[in-house]
Amino acid sequence: DAMVIQNPRYQVTQFGKPVTLSCSQTLNHNVMYWYQQKSSQAPKLLFHYYDKDFNNEADTPDNFQSRRPNTSFCFLDIRSPGLGDAAMYLCATSTGTDTQYFGPGTRLTVL
């Protein structure tokens, strides 16, 4: 089945220790997104790629970076995680003209 896969599903890191979250898709969608979602809040868009065209939201902290080496994969790097970065990180994909399809998410805990 075509799908969006995120690894790991759960990530525990220490304050200030860099972490990388990964997302892959078999849908062959042009657009890939990274969202941050905290409890009882709306998903907050961090970045999206239309093919290799990178789009950074104005309020995304510099601590967050992203890479999309090819159509199928996208990575989220958190350079120096703080306690406030503990959240669910959601990857999503779309064709750019239709709905967004979400992966299962990575729950990040910062100790």
Partner 1 sequence: QKEVEQNSGPLSVPEGAIASLNCTYSDRGSQSFFWYRQYSGKSPELIMFIYSNGDKEDGRFTAQLNKASQYVSLLIRDSQPSDSATYLCAVPEVYNFNKFYFGSGTKLNVKP
Return the residues of window 68-107 that contact partner 1 according to CB under 8 A. 88, 90, 94, 96-97, 99-105, 107
Distance in Å, CB of 43 to partner 1, minimum: 5
CA dist list (Å): 73 to 4, 15, 39, 51, 84? 10, 26, 27, 11, 26
Q: Binding to partner 1 by residue 110, rule CB under 8 A?
A: no
Q: Which residues pair with 24 in a beta bridge?
A: 5, 73
Residue carrying structure tokens 């199928």:
72
Three-state SS for 43? coil
The correct pick among 14, 20, 28, 55 for binding partner 1 (CB under 8 A) is 55
The correct pick among 26, 41, 54, 84 for binding partner 1 (CB under 8 A) is 41
Binding-site ranges for partner 1 (CB under 8 A): 31, 33, 40-43, 45, 48, 50, 55, 88, 90, 94, 96-97, 99-105, 107
